[in-house]
Structure 1
């Protein structure tokens, strides 16, 4: 199903971009951070907000960031703190930053670097914050290792408290932190998804034979996660039964790069990829305590899970983010730097 786009467009990013994040810790606004990816120009982080009327996207802050931004996350408990993974040519790095007081600056200010996550010798890929609130740990993933950091932002201190190598036979590219378990992280490997226990720093589980580009845990149901895969689309998994996916949704014509569960509406999922399309899905995976589908679950399987395809893009889409403040709203970022904010209210089933 394709619907005409009614999204609100923000065209303030001057350069190519692939990173967008919801500002979960902002209690009063639907806010997002977007970062650019220019090889020759000084890059920028944009703080954008949906206007109170919902008809306009406002730029609330523009901050210089010297290097290309390949990963961008907003701190889930402090709206002025964020992390980036960046490169300056050959060298990769990661830092935690603080947004300066906007009102006291007349020009676009630099971000205040709180800590540099500089213990990595391999190419760093991703910084993970525990998604559900205050936590004094960070996880970073490079091509060969998983690090756990102790972070003290107020005193600008970051220390590695544990580290584990996945070995030279493997190549990590990212991951996600389980919102139901502070000790569980899913790491994307070459042809598998590896689930790590941060207490022992050992591989506790794995989904094999899957070429995954993104992973996201279901915030409402434990053990359930979604993966975005090269040639297939997205798959839903129960980690207690990792050999066979619960659902397979082949809704993209090219590589699927991103997948996100809605923070509030269970079963509502976004996917996006290099086919310049964002897909909105409604997928039921049944109750947690029932191995046998109910008649209602069987009926739901017969309904097309694809609610809508947003196709009003001219470039690949690498970034999508739901709003935590208004879960009926999401933002997507195409490689040409175009942010589109959409409402999915017409597709939300009344409870």
Structure 2
């Protein structure tokens, strides 16, 4: 079997929620959440055996409603958060819930005839005073149990105390026309004291200590901003993507113009993700049914690659071999690709999810991997 070949896993229902099991750094694991209107929804815990190119699965019920987003806990691999749509007597609402995942991956549940299990609910993240939940962010370092959610037009900070979760602070988003949040990302730098949020086509930075706005990119995209991600190695660099079919990269110290723009997709770009270790590798996913891996060395923490001495000629040679541009286009999907995530256990492997319930696991091409490592 070709080690570089994609591995495909099909879900029974439509899906758009994908997350890596963030606190698990030994096994390659992802969670996928379904979005069915007619049946009980499910959470699939995916374990990838990279030696045999085989997927194993555990399936858990999620009766609360359609799963729109998921985020694995950064400090405990056995905690998972979902954002879901549930119908009450009055209306449909977007709520959040924390779940307890079993301690060990149970391979016996991989049998298609095995009983689907239920997850243990830990705490509700719903606040009736602040409207629908739009996004959820765990503290990036995992050193604390702090959790932040974005409601319609409030940033909510939560305190987790055993089975209970309560709102400790709420900061409103002010502006004309009742602006509403769409997504957000927690900055892993500056002692994790900053976040970025998106509303319509604007991006805003916030200092969590004062809950004051630190910067604003008013027209970051010409249409709705769909995704944000901070560079893990360069503290002022932020990536965004949106309905203008582009991914843009920003130095938040000077927000007048993006430092780089990618325009390789032909429809809305839903996700942008920096590689967790090699920030020159960036993934984007789109409604054009494609996932694109791009080299952004010119704005990365390693613009010249790895080098052992200060020989200028050698540095120039290496720079010529690391030109920016599309590395690979992955076309295994046939529907909108709503999510893409890097593995936290293998820096050269990632998963993508399309609306038709197709999960695809792919790898960085070997020649690119060796070029970076050597």
Structure-1-length-normalised TM-score: 0.91
- Report the equivalent of 1:165: 172
- Report the equivalent of 2:308: none
1:304 and 1:43, CA in 2 relative to 1: closer, same or farther beyond 3 A? same
Q: How many residues align?
A: 340
2:278 pairs with 1:281: no
- Report the equivalent of 2:372: 350
> Which residue of 92, 95, 119 corresponds with 1:93?
95
- Cα contact 2:289–2:336 (8 A) shared by 1: yes
Following TM superposition, by how much is the alpha carbon of 1:111 offset from its aligned partner in structure 2, in angstroms? 1.3
Cα distance per residue 1:281-311 (max 9 Å; x no partner):
11024477x9xxx995996699341101111
Cα distance per residue 1:18-54 (max 9 Å; x no partner):
0111112123211000000111110000100111414
- Report the equivalent of 2:141: 132
1:194 and 1:313, CA in 2 relative to 1: closer, same or farther beyond 3 A? same
> Which residue of 323, 330, 353 corresponds with 1:303?
323
Following TM superposition, by how much is the alpha carbon of 1:189 offset from its aligned partner in structure 2, in angstroms? 0.9
- Report the equivalent of 1:122: 131
Pick which of 269-278 and 49-58 moved more.
49-58
1:306 and 1:118, CA in 2 relative to 1: closer, same or farther beyond 3 A? same
Whole-Å Cα distance in 2 between the matches of residues 224 and 350 of structure 1? 21
- Report the equivalent of 1:148: 157
Following TM superposition, by how much is the alpha carbon of 1:190 offset from its aligned partner in structure 2, in angstroms? 1.2
Q: How do 1:195-214 and structure 2 match up within 5 A?
A: 195-211=205-221, 212-214=225-227
Q: How do 1:262-273 and structure 2 match up within 5 A?
A: 262-273=275-286
Q: Please, what is the CA RMSD of the aligned residues?
A: 2.4
Cα distance per residue 1:177-235 (max 9 Å; x no partner):
01113221111111200111111112111112124110000111101111012114211
Following TM superposition, by how much is the alpha carbon of 1:77 offset from its aligned partner in structure 2, in angstroms? 1.7
Whole-Å Cα distance in 2 between the matches of residues 52 and 234 of structure 1? 30
Pick which of 120-129 and 172-181 moved more.
120-129
Q: How do 1:244-255 and structure 2 match up within 5 A?
A: 244-255=257-268
Whole-Å Cα distance in 1 between the matches of residues 251 and 297 of structure 2? 13
Mind listing any 5+ residue stretches in structure 1 that lack a counterpart? none
Following TM superposition, by how much is the alpha carbon of 1:150 offset from its aligned partner in structure 2, in angstroms? 1.2
> Which residue of 174, 189, 198 corresponds with 2:183?
174
1:210 and 1:298, CA in 2 relative to 1: closer, same or farther beyond 3 A? farther
Whole-Å Cα distance in 1 between the matches of residues 295 and 83 of structure 2? 32
2:59 pairs with 1:37: no
- Cα contact 1:246–1:285 (8 A) shared by 2: no
Cα distance per residue 1:106-155 (max 9 Å; x no partner):
62222111110122431111111122223121000012110011113xx2
Whole-Å Cα distance in 2 between the matches of residues 296 and 185 of structure 1? 36
> Which residue of 338, 342, 353 corresponds with 1:333?
353
- Cα contact 2:296–2:324 (8 A) shared by 1: no
Mind listing any 5+ residue stretches in structure 2 that lack a counterpart? 304-311
Cα distance per residue 1:305-339 (max 9 Å; x no partner):
11011112110000100001101000000100110
Greater C-alpha Rg? 2
- Report the equivalent of 2:59: 62
The secondary structure found in structure 2 opposite 1:350 is: helix
The secondary structure found in structure 2 opposite 1:132 is: coil
